[in-house]
A and B are shown apart, each in its own frame.
Chain A
Amino acid sequence: MTSISSPRRSRRRRLPWQAIIDCLILLLWGLVLTRLAVTGKLFLLLHPDYMWLSNMAAVMLLGLGLVRATQIWQSLASPQSITGFRSEEHIALMPRQISSGLLLAIAIFGLIYSPRPFTSETAFQRGITDVLGQTRSRPERFVLSGAPEERTIIDWIRTLNVYPEPDAYNSQPVKVSGFVVHMPDWPDNHFMIARFVLTCCAADAYPVGLPVALPEGEPMPQPDTWLEVVGTMQTGTLSNKRQLVIGEPTLTTIPEPRNPYEY
């Protein structure tokens, strides 16, 4: 098995490195997508409606990787029969080594890294202040779920969008869950219970939220804590705007949900 024994043998020992790396890239990317899907982290990145696309891509990548692996295996087993891999030419901007390296590196990083949901800081950056009473979302269908305490935050915002007068909802029971956002220009005992809404992927997530008024003296929850808030709707004035506020709240800390977005 020494490589210097004969020229023919040394040719047999030459491994098709580019093909092996390509095969690794395909398999690793397939694994990254599979891992996201299996661990449920895909929920942080994509709207569930589009997950089948990502899953299909995972299957295709793994399949291509396996085809590649079989071809490499065949070429190693009988070097005469295969005329070599034609994917070693290159057409794009970057040298082949760089593009291979980049894809390999990102795939390995993707296997290690766990995406994390957005926090209140992102909510500020994406403009949480303008969502009350006017959500950007125009629902495809609008069905008012029966009991007010069954509405989620986005349901409330949509309801308010249709009929914004806060007095209409006075003393209705409310039970919503979300994360805590401290609004800088609000009184000290007010915070926002918020959620991100997704239309397609995390790139377009936008925040919506409802104000919560705590009784005087009660400690404020930390920002980004996940809470379930049970209370009754009241009308309050925040930032010189009359709006709906959750009053007499009971706060329960909940674990961060597997799927933190609403749709």
Chain B
Amino acid sequence: MVQLNNGITLFFSLLVEALPFLLLGVLFSSVLLLFVDEQKLLSIVPRNAVLAALVGSLIGFMFPVCECGNIPVARRLLMKGAPTAVAIGYLLAAPTVNPIVFWATWIAFRDQPEIVFLRILFSLIVAVTIAVIFSAQEDMRPFLQDSLARIMGEPEKPAPQRKRADSGTAVPDVSPLLQSGSFLIQSPGQVLQLSAPPAKTLAILSEAPKPLGSRLQLMVDNIVLELRELGAVLVLGSAIAAFVQVAIPREVVLGLGQGPITSIVAMMGLAWVVSICSTVDSFFALSFASTFTSGALLGFLVFGPMIDLKNISLLLTVFKGRAILYLFALAAQLTFLLCLVMNLYIL
């Protein structure tokens, strides 16, 4: 009975802590949907995978959200046709590489500034590496949930000769009349392929700027929609995280040891289980500062925001299980390697 009570208290605690950040993420995502011209945003994204990954990782400075808020934004980026490298880079780095988290980490670890800067550096290295690996896959759709993949449609061929008109829409290289399929002729020089995926159709149709009133109405609709979908998932994730915390004594995790290797594994495991938001996790990590190695603390601070128990269920709204497994394995191994190097050679 006590356990049940603790579990429910933990569950609400996680919810109350994460809900404001999810709300902020959904707000940012809806603002991105309606008030940012995605074509312009995407046209300044470099084609090179490494640069694109780096850009994606740094978007967090514009949209500072934690790991519950970054998923709606990343999904929006994917739907808007952002290169995979940008979306993945954003997904993994944005919870850490943003001004709010930097500030919070700085407050917590003022006397160990190396932790603050290495946290950012390691997150960037891991995020860019994984983003580059994923961008080797030209068509992301097998990795994505079906509903999202349907909206996205075919990946655009990376044709360097493709031109972009000033209006921002892609001008087909071949006359549309030479392609097969059914078309509707829109304004001069523009056709709408009937079999085109919804996102593309919408991109062409939503050309004319809508009046502010209806944009706001759309924004509210989108906020409500995403809040309902992701909120339910967050509820499930928090329930699982609370259950695991009650079921596995924290001693088991902490008892894993003080060695340079086991301590990193223990802290990464703890980050995965505890699932607290990246904006506040540095304060939590601070309470372990005297018992754990610096590498282990970094493992906690770098790995936790990328993938944890709570946000796996949120990630499942974008990716299929297999892709999350790859993300998880890659992020865990890279973080572990970097922290091990830190433990063995630097400090």
Contacts and interface: CB of A to CB of B under 8 A. Distances in A.
B233 interface: yes
Interface in A105-136: 106, 110, 113, 115-119, 121-122, 125-127, 134-136
A108 B115 CA distance: 42
A54 B19 contact: yes
B228 A100 contact: yes
Given A90-B225, A119-B2, A110 B12 contact: yes
Interface in B287-334: 287-291, 313, 316-317
B220 interface: yes
Contacts of B284: 199-200, 204
A89 B220 contact: no
Interface stretch (A41-49, A168-176, A250-258): A41-49
A161 B291 CA distance: 12
A104 to B, nearest CB: 10
Contacts of B16: 33, 36, 42, 45-46, 54, 201
Contact of A199 (B3, B231, B241, B286): B286
A138 B286 contact: yes
Given A50-B280, A57-B23, A201-B14, A116 B5 contact: yes
Given A46-B13, A54-B20, A204-B276, A91 B224 contact: no
B118 interface: no
A83 B56 CA distance: 36
B17 A203 contact: yes
A203 B249 contact: no
B217 interface: yes
A33 to B, nearest CB: 7
Interface string B90-127: 00000000000000000110100000000000000000
B154 interface: no
Given A36-B16, A92-B317, A113-B8, A206 B228 contact: no
Nearest to A51: B16
A140 B282 CA distance: 13
Interface in B1-40: 2-3, 5-6, 8-10, 12-17, 19-21, 23, 27
A125 to B, nearest CB: 5
A64 interface: yes
Given A87-B222, A94-B233, A204-B284, A116 B17 contact: no
Interface in A216-259: none
A206 B287 contact: yes
B9 A118 contact: yes
Contacts of A115: 8-9, 12-13
B224 A22 contact: yes
A86 interface: yes
A136 B25 CA distance: 32
A71 B286 contact: no
A87 B220 CA distance: 9
B251 interface: yes
A126 B242 CA distance: 14
B317 A91 contact: yes
Interface string B241-277: 1100110011100100000000000000000001110
Contacts of A29: 19, 231
B232 interface: yes
B229 interface: yes
Contact of A202 (B10, B75, B148): B10
Contact of A204 (B220, B230, B287): B287
A102 B233 CA distance: 9
Nearest to A118: B6
A73 interface: no
Contacts of B250: 125-127, 206
Interface string B44-66: 00000000000000000000000
A99 B233 contact: yes
15 contacts: A22-B228, A25-B231, A33-B16, A45-B9, A92-B317, A99-B228, A99-B233, A115-B8, A122-B6, A125-B246, A137-B290, A202-B9, A202-B13, A203-B17, A204-B287
Interface of A: 22, 25-26, 29, 33, 36, 42, 44-47, 50, 53-54, 56-57, 60-61, 64, 67-68, 71, 85-87, 89-94, 96, 98-100, 102-103, 106, 110, 113, 115-119, 121-122, 125-127, 134-138, 140, 161, 197, 199-204, 206
Given A64-B220, A121-B2, 13 more contacts: A91-B148, A94-B232, A94-B233, A115-B8, A115-B9, A117-B9, A125-B251, A126-B251, A134-B291, A161-B290, A202-B10, A203-B242, A204-B287
